[in-house]
Amino acid sequence: FIVLPFLVVLAWVYIRSNSRHRGRSSKLPPGPYPFPIIGNILQLGRNPHQLLAKLSSTYGPLMSLHLGSMYTVVVSSPEMAKEILQKHDLVFSSRRTIPTAGQAHDFHKNSIGLLPVGTKWRNLRKICKEHMFSTHSLEASQGLRQEKLEKLCEYVQECCLKGRVVNIGEVSFVTTLNLMSATLFSIDFTDFDSDNAQKWKETIEGFLGTVGSPNVADFFPVLKMFDPQGIKRGADFYIGKLLSMFEDVINQRLESRKTDSDSSKKKKDLLEVLIHLSEGSEYDLSLEGMKHFLLELFMAGSDTTASTVEWVMTELLQNPKKMSSVKNELITVIEKNIQVKESDISKLPYLEAVINEVLRLHPPGPLLLPRKSESDVEIKGYIIPKNSQILVNVWAIGRESSAWPNPNTFEPERFLDKKFDFNGQNFNFIPFGSGRRMCPGLQLAIRMLPIMVASLIHNFDWKLELGTKPEELDTSEKFGLALHKAVPLKALPIKL
């Protein structure tokens, strides 16, 4: 009695959405045959970016899928990505239907990632570009990040002395949280083994785990009100908890500005920039808006950056010769036992090439963030209907053999003679997306990544745990909000 009405409603939704597309089906991009009701959901598997790449080798770089009631087009070549993200940028600039989890505490009404292109979204992007992540703001806050790197080195040093194996993904995550919290509000959020660290880590991981899980209600909107997997309830809990933690941080700062105006003026973090903007008339920034804004930047920046660092260490430990090349470069630029600084990055082209190569092979957002078509668009003779979901398979594009010789091999050297500046104009390589929705945190990310990696390897050697040989290292991927390593990387640091 409970299941039957669901099935009837689902069948109705399926027939309705199919009949809507049937008239135009001969002009839709080709794709695998959809099963009744569920469509192609089962063909996605645990790592949809990989299975979609395989399917697109049969159906082509513009491919139709039916994910439940959601008609989806998957883009898998640089040429098609350029059509979508550059030629028809405006039509494809909105996000697809808001995921159920994103509606908790009205997150979607304040989120840069989820708002449609419009005045509010433009203002938030402008704040990011001109105030938060401008060269000036990031230069001013670099000292705050430097302190957190010293903490990372102290922790690794302690593990050396105790002969303790380091979980690289975890230390990268905690360090990224520290770098982000230092940059955003000069607060020491987490210590590697402290209770406070645990509280923040658990809440943030709970949030990322909940929001990152595929939700059946997003594919079949009729199920939304039942929240069958409890994802909306989980998102309500974690977003609520995080918003109140951020509210405390903002209130403490407002209080300290009242009581001690001199010391607050000295703060060089991005919260100070934000409060300053909220006092002016250019942007309509309320306390509510600031809380959501900080929460979003924190979430968007932490998992993506931390998982990239874990992949860099994985690739380097699997390729000892490349590891030696990075170390040699570091020692020629920075003296032994001296901490790497952001100002050193421009003198480390090989390290930069290593990071680019990792972003090519393991982009943290392998399918970008889903876009939506605002109207019917014709591309290369195919029709992409209004309201289709668009997934750009950046992972497949990074491994496209016509663009990259030996696409599955880790060869940082390929980036030495070709300069990529991540401006989203080279469609062979778009790990930060392209067009008006491109990642606004890019400038911060490309400062945090090299200094974290350099801090881990400049003064330490690393040995894989339990005598694992480099070629035995498990490099399988786990799809989520960011693309993680399925088996955490653990290694023993050795002081040089």
String of DSSP letters for 197-226: HHHHHHHHHHHHHHHHS--HHHHSGGGGGG
- Choice between 38 and 390, CB closer to ligand HEM: 390
- Choice between 201 and 257, CB closer to ligand HEM: 201
Give the whole-angstrom CA distance, residue 49 versus residue 30. 18
Smallest separation, CB 357 to ligand HEM (Å): 13
Give the whole-angstrom CA distance, residue 267 versus residue 182. 11
Considering only the stretches 198-206, 237-245, 253-261, 440-448, report the one whose residues sit in contact with ligand HEM under the rule CB under 6 A: 440-448
Smallest separation, CB 366 to ligand HEM (Å): 9
Give the whole-angstrom CA distance, residue 309 versus residue 149. 14
Considering only the stretches 165-173, 282-290, 292-300, 471-479, report the one whose residues sit in contact with ligand HEM under the rule CB under 6 A: 292-300
- One of 433, 460, 479, 481 touching ligand HEM (CB under 6 A): 433
- One of 245, 369, 379, 403 touching ligand HEM (CB under 6 A): 369
Under the criterion CB under 6 A, does residue 364 sit at the interface with ligand HEM? yes
Under the criterion CB under 6 A, does residue 113 sit at the interface with ligand HEM? yes
Give the whole-angstrom CA distance, residue 127 versus residue 274. 8
Total binding residues toward ligand HEM, as defined by CB under 6 A: 24
Largest CA distance in the chain: 73
Under the criterion CB under 6 A, does residue 169 sit at the interface with ligand HEM? no
- Choice between 223 and 456, CB closer to ligand HEM: 456
- Choice between 121 and 462, CB closer to ligand HEM: 121
Interactions with ligand HEM, residue window 305-344 (CB under 6 A):
305, 308
Give the whole-angstrom CA distance, residue 159 versus residue 459. 13
- One of 83, 269, 296, 477 touching ligand HEM (CB under 6 A): 296
Under the criterion CB under 6 A, does residue 300 sit at the interface with ligand HEM? yes
Residues sharing a CB contact under 8 Å with residue 348, sequence separation 6 or more, in sequence order: 329, 330, 333, 450, 454
Look at the block and give the residue holding tokens 């990505």. 81
Smallest separation, CB 442 to ligand HEM (Å): 7
Considering only the stretches 35-43, 205-213, 299-307, 375-383, report the one whose residues sit in contact with ligand HEM under the rule CB under 6 A: 299-307
Considering only the stretches 215-223, 240-248, 381-389, 429-437, report the one whose residues sit in contact with ligand HEM under the rule CB under 6 A: 429-437
Dihedral sign from CA coordinates of 245, 246, 251, 253: positive
Radius of gyration of the chain (CA): 23
Residues sharing a CB contact under 8 Å with residue 484, sequence separation 6 or more, in sequence order: 169, 307, 310, 477, 478
- Choice between 220 and 432, CB closer to ligand HEM: 432
The alpha carbon of residue 6 and the mean position of all alpha carbons in its chain are separated, in whole angstroms, by 35
Tokens of 192: 């590697």
Under the criterion CB under 6 A, does residue 270 sit at the interface with ligand HEM? no
Under the criterion CB under 6 A, does residue 289 sit at the interface with ligand HEM? no
Give the whole-angstrom CA distance, residue 201 versus residue 396. 31
- Choice between 305 and 389, CB closer to ligand HEM: 305
Under the criterion CB under 6 A, does residue 438 sit at the interface with ligand HEM? yes
Under the criterion CB under 6 A, does residue 301 sit at the interface with ligand HEM? yes
Under the criterion CB under 6 A, does residue 61 sit at the interface with ligand HEM? no
- Choice between 55 and 392, CB closer to ligand HEM: 392
Residues sharing a CB contact under 8 Å with residue 448, sequence separation 6 or more, in sequence order: 145, 176, 179, 301, 305
String of DSSP letters for 256-314: HHHH-HHHHHH--SHHHHHHHHHHSSSS---HHHHHHHHHHHHHHHHHHHHHHHHHHHH
Distances (CA, A) of 368 to 136, 316, 321: 28, 25, 32
Q: Please report how many Cα atoms fall inside a 13 Å half-sphere around the Cα of residue 320, on the Cβ side.
A: 8
Smallest separation, CB 447 to ligand HEM (Å): 9
Smallest separation, CB 45 to ligand HEM (Å): 21
Considering only the stretches 332-340, 346-354, 432-440, 452-460, report the one whose residues sit in contact with ligand HEM under the rule CB under 6 A: 432-440
Give the whole-angstrom CA distance, residue 127 versus residue 349. 30
- One of 174, 204, 358, 444 touching ligand HEM (CB under 6 A): 444
Footprint on this chain of ligand HEM (rule: CB under 6 A)? 112-113, 296-297, 300-301, 304-305, 308, 364-365, 368-369, 431-434, 437-441, 444-445
